[in-house]
Structure 1
Amino acid sequence: MITEIAPAPERVAPEPARARGRRRAWDEVPRWQIYVPLGIYLLFTLIPFYWILLFALRPAGSTSLVPWPMTFDHFQKVWTERSFGTYFANSVYVGIATLLLTTVVALAGGYALARFDFKVKRGFMLALLCSQFVPGALLLVPLFQIFAKLQMINSLGSVVLAETVFQLPLSMILISGFIRNVPYSLEEAAWVDGCNRLTAFRIVVLPLLRPGLIAVGSFAFVHAWNHFLFALMFLSDQSKQTIPVGLNTLMSADSVDLGALAAGGIIAAVPVVIVFAFIQKWLITGFSAGAVKG
């Protein structure tokens, strides 16, 4: 007769005295001391968003503090008359192309930094880190000269390459930290089973890097989507410009169309908000994983 053996009850480790003291002190804090500062911070954060929605949805010339009657004329104006449909498509192209190029190159470089030792490795890592202190404005002149010789001025490819160059150092450092968190023994086991290095990386390592790749890719996409300087300097044709440059065209020395500017700002912000809403779990996991052994 076969009887099922009940699993032994799990033993819960006793809570350290210091942790119990912190938890007890936290429980004794009055709730208003927590919720009042959080409420003030939330109010301070949401007021600018409400102000943008107010100008975008209320009729031109209205001074009401409530967007009623509600109108979408400002959105229609910036999308059709101000060519925001073209700007939006260009920004999507630049963002996705930068995401893919940055992720692929940083993945190869990060693997080399994580798995191979060479004489100048420490100096190379230091150079990558120090490059983050260089402002993007200092790269404009050399990049402009390079793109001019390559006949890439007024091309979306020039903005993609410039954004990739600007974001590669940090992306390589982050991905190298992600790869160090993957045990080297997993790759060795794949080699024993007959896989070469590339196959072992694709089958064993790459699936474990999903949170890190999502974090790096989303960071590259958002930066390319919001960056204004490179698009302004390398793109002169209006049909090639991106959303940040398009927003700048709504402001002139004489007047500013606040309704159109607010509608354009919402159009620019919605894709980023949607992206972060879907990947926030992967983003937090990826950045925390890369920070452990980076």
Structure 2
Amino acid sequence: MTAALAENQTRTDAPPTGSPLPPKTPRTPKRERAFDDVPRWQIYLPLGLYLLFTLIPFYWMLLFAVRPAGSTSLVPWPMTFEHFEKVWTERNFGMFFENSMIVGVCTLVATTGVALAGGYALARFNFRIKNAFMLALLCSQFIPGALMLVPLFEIFRNLQMINSLGSVIIAETVFQLPLSIILISGFIKNVPVSLEEAAWVDGCSRFRAFCAVVLPLLRPGLIAVGSFAFVHSWNHFLFALMFLSEQDKQTIPVGLNTLMGSDSVDLGALAAGGVIAAVPVVIVFAFIQKWLITGFSAGAVKG
């Protein structure tokens, strides 16, 4: 009797034959549920404090750049551009800007081209000292640039390249290559080899297949590597200071250093020079931030 009642209850609870099962409610992951339970002010308050801490130095620099000399106002009004005119004409910042742009663009092109070739070789070919070469690239990142100033100076002096922008471009390119090769290599590994093999079957050479198939897919990685090389060479101070002695060959970081005298500092001119130096970097990051994040995240994979 009991068994019959249990069987009848089971038949009553079971869904009719052929009817669809009720959809399962997707479960929210524990991490997402925990994040949703956090009050919004606990998220925005730390972010706002960090943003305030980051922007205050930039505001202070912009304030001194557009505030009249001798003013103590915390609001940049009335505004003046006399400091910009002074550093651009009297302090030769136009020439410094041009030299920095030449160094930055040439370093970008040289670093991207060599890193592209080296990264492709590491990603697609197997050779005996491949692991040792990768280890050497990683270890080279621990060597500070100041440690290599004297050997590099002797090399460029023997090559008669002292006081030329070419010496700074070569030095910047060499010091940017290890990280750039590693990033490009990791990015190329994400491109399936089967795409190149399909191009080879169609009659393409390795170089043509690389240019037609692989290179278009490397755009985020190339933008990330190129922008990193440009910004580093734009802001670097030591190489330009050591290898460039004439004023007409100096770059913006060295030019900013000349604005600080031994007895006094023209804060307005120094702030205006800092704004001029920061504008190209801000523009670069504003236009390529999406590609920069994609490139670094895709290139930083385990090989």
| Same fold at TM > 0.5 | yes
Matches within 5 A, 1:1-294: 15=26, 19=29, 21-294=30-303
Deviation at 1:14, TM superposition (A): 6.9
TM-score normalised by structure 2 residue count: 0.90
- Which residue of the partner structure matches residue 18 of structure 2? none
Deviation at 1:34, TM superposition (A): 1.6
3-state SS of paired residue (1:112): helix
- Residues 52 and 262, structure 1, Cα contact 8 Å, conserved in 2: yes
Deviation at 1:270, TM superposition (A): 0.5
- Counterpart AA for 2:185: S
TM-score normalised by structure 1 residue count: 0.93
C-alpha distance in structure 1 between counterparts of 2:40 and 2:185, whole Å? 43
C-alpha distance in structure 2 between counterparts of 1:114 and 1:16, whole Å? 40
C-alpha distance in structure 2 between counterparts of 1:265 and 1:54, whole Å? 12
* Length, aligned pairs only: 281
- Residues 102 and 217, structure 1, Cα contact 8 Å, conserved in 2: yes
Deviation at 1:293, TM superposition (A): 3.7
Deviation at 1:248, TM superposition (A): 0.3
3-state SS of paired residue (1:130): helix
What residue ranges of structure 2 are gaps of 5+ in the alignment?
A: 1-22
Runs (4+) off by over 6 Å: none
What whole-Å deviation, never above 9, does each CA across 1:145-199 have from its counterpart, x for those lacking one?
1111111000000000000010101101110101111101111111111111111
Deviation at 1:141, TM superposition (A): 1.1
3-state SS of paired residue (2:131): helix
What whole-Å deviation, never above 9, does each CA across 1:217-247 have from its counterpart, x for those lacking one?
0000000000000000000010000000000
- Residues 181 and 293, structure 1, Cα contact 8 Å, conserved in 2: no
Deviation at 1:24, TM superposition (A): 2.1
- Which residue of the partner structure matches residue 6 of structure 1? none
What residue ranges of structure 1 are gaps of 5+ in the alignment?
A: 1-11
Identity level (%): 81
What whole-Å deviation, never above 9, does each CA across 1:5-43 have from its counterpart, x for those lacking one?
xxxxxxx997555x1x22222222122212221221111
3-state SS of paired residue (2:161): coil
- Which residue of the partner structure matches residue 8 of structure 2? none
